[in-house]
Amino acid sequence: MAIDAQGRAGSTNRSEPDWRSRAIGVNRPYLKSTRARCIHGFALYEVLLGVLIFVIGVLALGRAAQNCLNASMLTAEEDGIRQVLSNRMAEIQATPGVPDAAKELKVDTGYGIVNVIQKTAPAGLKEPEGAELNGVNVVTLTAKWLRGGTAQSKSIEFYVYRMGQ
């Protein structure tokens, strides 16, 4: 064995087995895999697996964003329908006289035509003594519309009191 210029002991003859075993890390297996990875990088299947996981994540994120947008659109549509029913209820309550027995309105919203059907009937309420309360009517408003080719409906029911009926 000879001492090299840096003061390390070792063989200067590269044909000796001692030099080769130190170069490839036979005596140090923990360095062998690190060196091999540093020299060769990742295998193709590792890269493809990483890309596959990334693509699946992006697709799942896109699907979640699409579901959020759909839910927001459905909520906005139902809020519009509720507003139509609320407006009609306010009109009925503000109008003097008995509400119409049956009436149908077509309201154009940003989501399509909404049919509002109004039905009025006597409430038939009685006092605890058994006397019937006159002038109290029950009004049912039903909104019907199409969402994606499927019929949808929402209805509200409220009482209207008119004196002197």
Q: What CA dihedral angle connects 98, 101, 106 and 112, to 10 degrees?
A: 100
Distances from the Cα of 126 to the Cαs of 89, 123, 129, 161, 164, in angstroms?
A: 24, 9, 8, 14, 17
Do residue 10 and residue 84 come from a single domain? no
Do residue 64 and residue 24 come from a single domain? no
Q: What is the pLDDT of residues 61-70, one digit of tens each?
A: 999 999 999 9
d(CA 157, CA 7): 98
Q: How confident is the model at residue 7 (pLDDT cuts 50, 70, 90)?
A: low
Higher local confidence (pLDDT), 18 or 50: 50
- For the chain, how many structural domains are there in total? 2
Q: Is the pLDDT of residue 133 over 80?
A: yes
Q: What is the pLDDT of residues 150-162, one digit of tens each?
A: 999 999 999 999 8
Domain that holds residue 59: 52-161
Do residue 57 and residue 35 come from a single domain? no
Q: What is the pLDDT of residues 92-106, one digit of tens each?
A: 999 988 899 999 999
